[in-house]
Amino acid sequence: MLSTERGKNVKDVAIELGYGENYFYSFNSGKKPSSEKLETIADYFNVSIDYLLGRTNQRTLLTDNTVQTIAAHHDEEEWTEEELEEIEQFKRFVAMRREARKHQGE
């Protein structure tokens, strides 16, 4: 549980975020958090909203600041900045598709 990883209980987290002390327990009765509160909670724990909702096991989303190395052979071709950006977009697309396939198989 994310709260115990921080050495806190859910009541303490709710109070720290400015919610009522029983805020997280209300979800057991079917209450759903607003998107703003989901975003606040995700930021607090440094995880994605999809991770909070159980839609992925990947805690954080890949961002442009995420360091990754991909080797490619370009046959000594010169690439424009626009073409390099298209390659980056395609990498993000492939990563999203891979993640979606993993969840379909679960």
User: Can you read off the two tokens belonging to residue 102?
Assistant: 């993993």
Alpha helices in the chain, H assignment, sequence order = 2-5, 10-16, 35-45, 49-52, 81-104
Return the domain boundaries, the chain: 2-104
- pLDDT band for 70, please (50, 70, 90 cuts): low
Instruction: Give the model confidence (pLDDT) of 47-69 as tens digits.
Output: 888 888 888 887 876 555 555 55
Q: Residue 27 and residue 11: Cα distance in Å, rounded?
A: 13
pTM: 0.55
Report pLDDT for 29: 79
* Average confidence (pLDDT) over 58-85: 68
Instruction: Give the model confidence (pLDDT) of 9-45 as tens digits.
Output: 888 888 989 988 888 888 777 788 888 888 898 888 8
